[in-house]
Amino acid sequence: MNLELSEEQAAAKQLAADFTDREIVPYAADWDRAESVDRAIIGKLGKVGFLGLTIPEEYGGSGGDHLAYCLVLEELGRGDSSVRGIVSVSLGLVAKSVNSYGSEQQKRHWLPRLTSGEALGCFALTEPGTGSDAANLTTRAVRDGEDWLITGAKMFITNGTWAEVALVFARTGGPGHQGITAFLVPTATPGLERREIHGKLGLRGQATAELTFDAVRVPDSTRLGAEGKGFSVAMAALAKGRMSVAAGCVGIAQACLDAAVGYAKEREQFGKPIASYQLVQELISDISVDLDAARLLTWRVADHIDRGLPFATESSVAKLYASEAAVRAANNALQVFGGYGFIDEYPVGKYLRDARVMTLYEGTSQIHKLLIGRSLTGVNAF
């Protein structure tokens, strides 16, 4: 086992750190208050190659392995989880799915646009009535000659109002996961309406939306993968996507550690820096231990993917641990800051709000415990 980064991986990490410190950190608080990041960040992410990581260069990607991808997402998550989410969804869930399951025509059409930042993608799986129970979605696609008519609604869709293409999962057959098909739907298609969701607890800078489909007509050429195999496309995307979320949570925890250490060394009480008090050091050391454990679990997933090994359970472990660790880290950092942590002049309140949603999306902590338990026992729990 060698945990030393290669030259390429170290360079990717440094590039992402410099980008984050220059293009994200100075603006994150303002974006949070405005409930929108500056859309110019998308072109900048594309120009530096972050929207094309692991995608072959022949399709406009920047190549690289999955550990380099995780290193970049750690840094973006350190700066602003809303920006990290843009990359995780458009690249991690949509572009990678097109690369894995798309026809040559679909790859040539969508991948250069997605990797450059010319277009964004969104992942339209969750519905108003189906979150964890994704196999029972109700959005339906019905054949009409050589076309499909899609009707239904999707909820909590990241990039939803900004995306040029939605990877939509709809029921084309009977009940259960075998009746679901995936489609690449241009968001300008007539009948597709989008409404941005405001007033979120965290990830406030991210464009989160509700999508409604009123007999949206798309040709069969928009189908991604085989008919009835859409659930497999979704689950494969989410298995890697959970690694992306875990990497972003590592970034949040790193930001919490940096902020807590810096503040503890500057803030004085009873005539000396609070860093000299044992219980403050306990808060900081707990963040550090959680950070290291989450990072190593996440890197393990990337290593398994790059070596062609099974990784779904490892991805659930990493996502479960890292998301809960990020919440603990943010809570501890806020405690170090005391009352100042409770106002948005300082960043730790935002870290806590952003971290909290990580335990909910791309599989709740409870769902991941069931997935891990099923992997260990071979028994489905209810």
* pLDDT digit string, tens, across residues 334-350: 999 999 999 999 999 99
Q: What is the pLDDT of residue 177?
A: 81
pTM of the model: 0.95
* pLDDT digit string, tens, across residues 77-86: 999 999 999 9
* pLDDT digit string, tens, across residues 18-41: 999 999 999 999 999 999 999 999
Q: What is the pLDDT of residue 1?
A: 75
- What domains sit in the chain, N to C, each tagged with a CATH number? 7-120 (1.10.540.10), 123-228 (2.40.110.10), 232-377 (1.20.140.10)
* pLDDT digit string, tens, across residues 214-228: 999 999 999 999 999
What string of H, E and C letters represents the secondary structure of the chain?
CCCCCCHHHHHHHHHHHHHHHHHCHHHHHHHHHHCCCCCHHHHHHHHCCHHHECCCHHHCCCECCHHHHHHHHHHHHHHCHHHHHHHHHHHHHHHHHHHHHCCHHHHHHHHHHHHHCCCCEEEECCECCECCCHHHCCCEEEEECCEEEEEEEEEEEECCCCCCEEEEEEECCCCCHHHEEEEEEECCCCCEEEEECCCCCCCCCCCEEEEEEEEEEEEHHHEECCCCCHHHHHHHHHHHHHHHHHHHHHHHHHHHHHHHHHHHHHCEECCEEHHHCHHHHHHHHHHHHHHHHHHHHHHHHHHHHHCCCCCHHHHHHHHHHHHHHHHHHHHHHHHHHHHHHHCCCCCHHHHHHHHHHHCCCCCCHHHHHHHHHHHHHCCCCC
The band of 178, judged by pLDDT with boundaries at 50, 70 and 90, is: confident
Known catalytic membership, residue 362: yes
Q: Of 74, 75, 314, 362, which is the active-site residue?
A: 362
